[in-house]
Amino acid sequence: MTPVTQIESALRAALPAAAFRALEPRYLEEPRGRYQGKGGLLVAPSCTEEVAAAVRIAHEAGVPVVPYGGGTGLVGGQIAQEGIEPLILSLERMNKIRAIYPDENVLVAEAGCILQDLHTAVEKENRLFPLSIAAKGSARIGGNLATNAGGLNVLRYGNARDLCLGLEVVMPNGDIWNGLTRLRKDNTGYDLRNLMVGSEGSLGVITAAALKLFPVPASEGTALFVVPSPEAALNLLAMARSHMAEGISAFELMHRQGWDFLRETMPELRLPYDESPEWSVLMDVGLAKGLNPAEALETLFAEAFEAEIVTDGLIAQSEQQRIDLWNIRENIPEGNRRIGSISSHDISVPISRIPEFIREGNAKMAEIGDVRVNCFGHLGDGNLHYNIFPAAGKSRHDYEHLRSAVKSGVHDLVHAYNGSVSAEHGVGRLKVSDLEKYSDPVKLAALRAIKQALDPKGIMNPGVILRA
C-alpha cells in the first residue's frame, strides 16, 4: 500500500461519501501537455471543515496534498508527477457565493467558484469584478488567487492580489485561518493574505475570499488600432492616457503571427482584415456618466493618425462588434495551443524597454533556429507572452533538442533587462530552476524559511515554487 491509500480509511471516516470521486484523467493532465500526474487519491470536500479534516489527516501521515482548482494553470502547479502519490484536493464542490455587499463593493465567494460565474452574479447587482482571463469559463477563483492571476484588466484594476481583501485558508496542519475580512484597512501585523495569494498551494489551501467589486462603467468602448511598431504602440498608450487618464481598462499588443495562427487553426473566427496587420493594439475603455467612449476613441484615432502612430483602425459600433474584436485577442492562446509551441514564456520587462527587448529577442531566436515568434500581451503593464513555435510544416517535437536553448535564451535576456520570468502564470513546477537561477539569494532564503515555518513537514504541493 502507498501512504495515500493507507489514509483512505481515515478519510472515509471523516468525510461524507459524496466527497470521494474517481480519479479521472483530467486531474492528472494540464493544458500544455508538459506534465502527467502519477496517480493519488482524489477528494472533493464541500465545505471548509471538510477541507481541514482532509488536510489534518494527510499532515499526520506525512502525505503530500495537491490543491486542484479548474486545472487551467500553465506551469504545472496542479500536477504532481514525482515523489509520493498525493492526496489531490479538488475545490470544485466549494462553489457557493456566500454574500454580495453592493454598498461596500465586496463579494465573498468560495474557492471553487468559476470566474465567469462570479462575473454573472455581480452583474445582477450592477457591479464589476474585473479579473478576466482567457480561461474564465473554467478557471476557479481559488486558483486565480493562488497564482496571483493577471489577465486583461491589470492596467486599470491590478492583479488578483490587488482585488483581494481577505481570505479563509486551511493551513498545512489542518487549522483554519479565519482571515475573511471585508476591511480596506487592517494593519494588525504581518500580511498573511498577501503571503497566501501567489503561494500556489504551497503554504495552505485557500477555501474562500473576500473580493473587491467596482461600479460598472457608465459606458464602454473598444477599438482596434493598427500600429507600425511596438514603439508606436507605447506612444499610443501615452497619448490615450493623456486623453482618458485611468479610463483605459485594457491595452493589448498583438503581432501578425497571432492573427496568422488564428487563420490557420480557427478559420471560422471573424477577422476584420484580409491581411494580418504586422502590429495591432486592442483597447478597451470604460468612462463615467456623461462621457462618450466612441467619440473619445475617434478623437484619439484622429490625433494618433496625424502623428503617424496608427495607420488604420476600427471602433466597435455595437456590442457584437466589440465581442468580435475581443474574440481575436482571447482566442490567441487557443490558436497557439493548436499549433503547439516549442517553449512559451510569460514574462515582464520595464514597459519603456519592451520594443528593444522584442528586437533583441527575435534576433536571438533566429540565431537558435528556424522558428516563428508570437509575441502578444498586456502592453500596459509590461507583461508579454513571448512564445516560440516551429516553422511552418514542422511540429514542436522536431525542436525538442532546442527547447532548453530557447527557454534559456529568452529568460537570460529577460533577466538582463531587469524583468521577471513569471509575470502572471506563477512558478509552479515548470520554473523552479528559473527561480533558483535568477532570484536574489536573500529572497530565496526568506521563501525557504517561510515554507519551513508554516509547512515543516513539506506536505503542501511539494515541488511547487521551491524544490521539494
Model confidence at 34: pLDDT above 90? no
The three cell numbers of residue 458 are 513539506
C-alpha span between 301 and 288 (Å, rounded): 20
For the chain, what is the mean pLDDT?
Answer: 96
Per-residue pLDDT at 134: 87
Of 193, 332, 315, 325, nearest to 263 (Cα)? 332
Per-residue pLDDT at 3: 86
Of 269, 295, 281, nearest to 224 (Cα)? 281
Model confidence at 308: pLDDT above 80? yes
CB 180, CB 209: distance < 8 Å: yes
Model confidence at 89: pLDDT above 80? yes
Model confidence at 75: pLDDT above 70? yes
> Residue 375: which H helix or E strand, with range?
strand 371-378
Per-residue pLDDT at 33: 86
C-alpha span between 243 and 301 (Å, rounded): 11
Does residue 468 or residue 50 have the better pLDDT? 50
Of the chain, the end-to-end C-alpha distance in Å amounts to 23
Q: Which whole number is the average pLDDT over 200-209?
A: 98
Question: Which pLDDT tens digit goes with each residue over 240-270?
Answer: 999 999 999 999 999 999 999 999 999 999 9
**Number of residues in the chain:** 468
Model confidence at 414: pLDDT above 80? yes
Of 362, 355, 410, nearest to 379 (Cα)? 355
Per-residue pLDDT at 458: 97
Q: How far is CA 129 from the centre of its chain?
A: 15
Question: Which segments within 69-215 are labelled E, that is strand?
Answer: 87-90, 97-101, 106-110, 127-128, 164-170, 176-179, 205-212, 214-215
CB 293, CB 219: distance < 8 Å: yes
**What's phi and psi for 460, nearest 5 deg?**
-85, 110
Rg (CA), the chain: 23
Q: Which whole number is the average pLDDT over 81-104?
A: 96
- Binned at pLDDT 50, 70 and 90, residue 5 comes out as confident
Question: For the whole model, what pTM was predicted?
Answer: 0.94
Look at strands 346-348 and 176-179 and give their pairing. unpaired
Model confidence at 1: pLDDT above 70? no
- Binned at pLDDT 50, 70 and 90, residue 38 comes out as confident
Q: Return the exposure string of 228-243: e unless at least 16 CB atoms fall within 10 Å of the residue's CB, then b.
A: eebbbbbbbbebbeeb
Question: Which pLDDT tens digit goes with each residue over 316-370?
Answer: 999 999 999 999 999 999 999 999 999 999 999 999 999 999 999 999 999 999 9
Greatest alpha-carbon pair distance for the chain in Å reads 73
Q: Which residues contact 372 (CB under 8 A, 6 or more apart)?
A: 257, 388, 389, 390, 391, 392
CB 404, CB 394: distance < 8 Å: no
C-alpha span between 282 and 267 (Å, rounded): 20
Q: How far is CA 313 from the centre of its chain?
A: 29
Q: Which residues contact 364 (CB under 8 A, 6 or more apart)?
A: 409, 410, 413
